[in-house]
Amino acid sequence: MSDRHEPPGPPEYDPYESLTDLTGEEPIPALEDPALPPATPPRSPLLTGLILGLLLVVLSIAVFNLTQDDEAAEADATETTVTTSADSDDADQQPTTTSADDGTPAESTSTTTTEAPIEFDPYSAVGQPLALGDLTLQTAGIGEIRLGNDAADAVGKLVATLGEPTSDTGPITATGEYGACEGGTVRIVKFGALAAVVVIDDDGTETFAGYRLDLTYDEAATSVAVDLETLSGLKLGYSVTQLRDIYSAFDVEIVADSDYGRVFELRGTSGNLLLWGPVLDSGDEGTDTIMGIYSADASDNFC
């Protein structure tokens, strides 16, 4: 059996001896050094991300506005509205005006160039009016107005008889139309249904070179010239059957033309082309209509 141990006796000193003078009103001693700055509490990750997102949005808007301002400034410097005004009867150059986007007028830096109209002398009437019955359409001309004559005299007689032309192109470059020599200089003078073809040489000489009588020309149906007829009596509006009857002693052929479609060709016994013109095809020669009566092309003699 072990020896019994007695509990320890009271200590030889009082552990609360140093606290006997405390009254309970003394300050609590500082737990940290007061000279140290207060610690900053850690930020929330969500708040940090929100702040960064707002900064990026603001930065993007600023960059976009700067870009737009630069583009607007460039557009203001280069974009203008140009208004040109010209009178068709006035050959003088009209000034151009420009306006900026803010409506303020600005000096124009561009000009508009217009081609001057072709200047030419119109044909004047020559002699006394001729009887319409004397203006017969022939291979060599119109009555006494012969192909190859001076144009001022030939066309002048037409003016005296048929009145002022309904149109006059003046000198133009020929494209092959009206039978004129392509690339040459030609002048087309119309009297309603009748077109006088004038060729112009390099030296300026104007020659009556051909004619065309056609129902499709402007003001043809109401013009005096619509009643002209050939020496043998063929008129516009006749049928192919009437054509064959009138020229029974000649060779009449109906052929296809690349420009006019169906056309008639009247040839002499030697095979030379005398007259020709477009035909309105109805499917029956009895009602096929003669729409035009043309002389041989001017290019046959002048090219």
Q: How far is CA 50 from CA 43, 56, 231, 262, in A?
A: 12, 10, 104, 86
Indicate the number of domains in the chain: 1
The answer to whether residues 135 and 159 touch, using CB atoms and an 8 Å cutoff, is no
- Residue range(s) defining the domain that contains residue 239: 132-302
**CA-to-CA distance for 16 and 157, rounded, in angstroms?**
155
**CA-to-CA distance for 55 and 73, rounded, in angstroms?**
27
Is residue 99 assigned to a domain?
no
Over its length of 303 residues, how does the chain's per-residue pLDDT go in tens digits? 455 555 566 656 555 555 555 555 556 555 555 565 555 555 555 556 666 666 666 666 765 666 665 555 554 544 444 444 434 444 444 444 444 445 554 444 444 444 455 678 999 999 999 999 999 999 999 999 999 999 999 999 999 999 999 999 999 999 989 999 899 999 999 999 999 999 999 999 999 999 999 999 999 999 999 999 999 999 999 999 999 999 999 999 999 999 999 999 999 999 999 999 999 999 999 999 999 999 998 877 776
Is residue 294 assigned to a domain?
yes
> Residue 285, Cα to own-chain centre: how many angstroms?
43
SS3 state at 50: helix
The answer to whether residues 237 and 216 touch, using CB atoms and an 8 Å cutoff, is no
**CA-to-CA distance for 125 and 144, rounded, in angstroms?**
16
Is residue 5 assigned to a domain?
no
Is residue 61 assigned to a domain?
no
Is residue 269 assigned to a domain?
yes
SS3 state at 230: strand
Is residue 199 assigned to a domain?
yes
- Farthest-apart Cα atoms in the chain, separation: 180
The backbone region for 163, taken as left when phi is positive above 0, alpha when psi lies in -120 to 50, beta otherwise, is: left
Its pTM stands at: 0.62
DSSP of 266-293 = EE-TT--EEEEEEEE--SSTTT-EE-EE
Is residue 150 assigned to a domain?
yes
Q: What's the helix, strand, coil split of the chain in %, to 5?
A: 25, 25, 50
pLDDT for 300 equals 74
The three-state DSSP-derived secondary structure of 161-191 is: HHCCCCEECCCEECCCHHHCCCCCEEEEEEE
**CA-to-CA distance for 73 and 94, rounded, in angstroms?**
30
Is residue 286 assigned to a domain?
yes
Can you count the helices (H) and strands (E) in the chain? 4, 16
**CA-to-CA distance for 48 and 55, rounded, in angstroms?**
11
